[in-house]
Structure 1
Amino acid sequence: MKFFIDTADLDEIKEAKGWGVLAGVTTNPSLYMKVGGKLADFEDHMVKIAHLCDGLPVSAESTAKSAEDMIVEGRHLSSLAPNIVVKLPICAESLAATRRLSEEGVRINMTLVFSAPQALLAANAGARYISPFVGRFDDIGEDGIDELSTVIQCIENYSWDKNVDHEVEIITASVRTPNHVTQAALLGADIATVPFGALKKCLAHPLTQQGLERFEADWEKVKGA
């Protein structure tokens, strides 16, 4: 399973990339707002992320409402850098836009997916990536991992179908915990897009820290002998 980082923060992207594990970046309007983003600087910021990622896929989300406007904005966003993927929220308008854009070679990340039927529609429309959300199910007392399992199985069952003649990858989104990452990997999700805070939690374990402290203490004894 590949790791994307879910952020618009350049410093977080640089640090995660420095770990040698980063396979892509996803952004959205909320993440851009969190870093103090301004409308006038949005495109420049996406280009900075794209260049920083050295060809790795970077999802930039369209805020257009109609299919035609999504097509226009999608073409423009994808022209900013060759590794920019256009992110669209699942709806009737975005399905129509995805069909047109995918036929033109524009990669689409269909986001805000919460059901298998939505995922299947996105795949058939031509989406390159499909982003089912996990954590938001947990927020309302439902099992996000169970829903993710259903999406993965449905896409895998029909990925060979003549109507889905392109590669489709499942991006596990709305990841909150290392357990979300573990369960997504066990289910065979292609990608987990993880906020930097959750990514750091994946790296940490109390027994690892305990072991390091013991090794350091023992080495100090060796040095003093």
Structure 2
Amino acid sequence: MRTYIDSAEVENVREAYELGLVDGVTTNPSLVAGTDREYRDIIDELTEFVDGPISVEVIATDYEEMLEEAREYDTWGDNIAVKLPMTRDGMKALRTLTAEGVQTNITLIFSVNQALIAAKNGATMVSPFIGRLDDNGHDGVGLIEDIREVYDNYDFETDILAASLRHPYHVQEVAKAGADIATLPPSVADKMFDHPRTDSGLEAFLDDWGDRESPALK
């Protein structure tokens, strides 16, 4: 399973990149608004070191304006994926952009039917929002399993990108459920490294070794 970082903070992405977790990046208007920076400036910095898809989301809600935004975003780099909402106008824009060869990420997916429509219209990726479903008493991981089954039944090439992940347990569960990609908030990515047994085991090894020098440094 590929891992993306869900952040518009370039330094957070860079730190995750150095740890081998950045196969791509997802951004959205909320994340960008929290930086007090221009969207283009952020993306320009990210494209300097991120080779995988970088999702840039449209603000418009009607077909024509979505296309105008999407075509501009597509000029920002060879690896830009335009994020479109799962709406009727969003699907019209998706059909047009698919025909033009633009990478796309359909966001705010909450059902198998929505994922099916997006795949039929040629989406590069769909983003089911796992945490938001869980918050409302629904089975977010179960949605990943159901979409995986449908996509495999009909050989859809659309990638399933598990989004809105709240904790490391979500990551392992969507991996088991067959997600192609998980996009991780930096806080979740950081917690994936930790386990108390790792810390205590390392401490025990070092205590047993004492103050001897490393044999590699003699």
* TM-score of Structure 1 vs Structure 2, range by shorter chain: over 0.9
Counterpart contact for 2:127–2:161, Cα < 8 Å: yes
Counterpart contact for 2:5–2:21, Cα < 8 Å: no
Superposed CA offset, 1:106-129 (max 9, x none): 011001000000000001111100
| Aligned-residue offset at 1:141 | 2.1
Aligned to 1:66: 62
Superposed CA offset, 1:137-194 (max 9, x none): 111122211122112211221225xxxxxx3111000011111111111111100000
In the alignment, structure 1 residue 43 sits paired with structure 2 residue 33: no
| Aligned-residue offset at 1:222 | 5.1
Alignment of 1:93-132 (within 5 A): 93-132=89-128
Alignment RMSD (CA, Å): 1.3
Tell me the SS of whatever aligns to 2:23.
Answer: strand
Q: Which runs of 4+ in 1 moved over 6 A?
A: none
Moved more, 151-160 or 182-191: 151-160
Distance in 2 (CA, whole Å) between partners of 1:209 and 1:91 is: 47
Normalised by the size of structure 1, how large is the TM-score? 0.91
Distance in 2 (CA, whole Å) between partners of 1:94 and 1:116 is: 17
Aligned to 1:4: 4
Distance in 2 (CA, whole Å) between partners of 1:139 and 1:26 is: 21
Aligned to 2:216: none
Aligned to 2:159: 169
| Aligned-residue offset at 1:221 | 5.9
Distance in 2 (CA, whole Å) between partners of 1:21 and 1:29 is: 23
Counterpart contact for 1:99–1:125, Cα < 8 Å: yes
Gaps of 5+ in 1: 161-166
| Aligned-residue offset at 1:21 | 3.0
Letter in 1 for 2:47: A
Gaps of 5+ in 2: 214-218
How many residue pairs match? The answer is: 213
Aligned to 2:189: 199
Aligned to 1:210: 200
| Aligned-residue offset at 1:12 | 0.6
| Aligned-residue offset at 1:68 | 1.1
| Aligned-residue offset at 1:35 | 2.0
Structure with bigger helix share is 1
Aligned to 2:34: 34
Distance in 1 (CA, whole Å) between partners of 2:154 and 2:30 is: 33
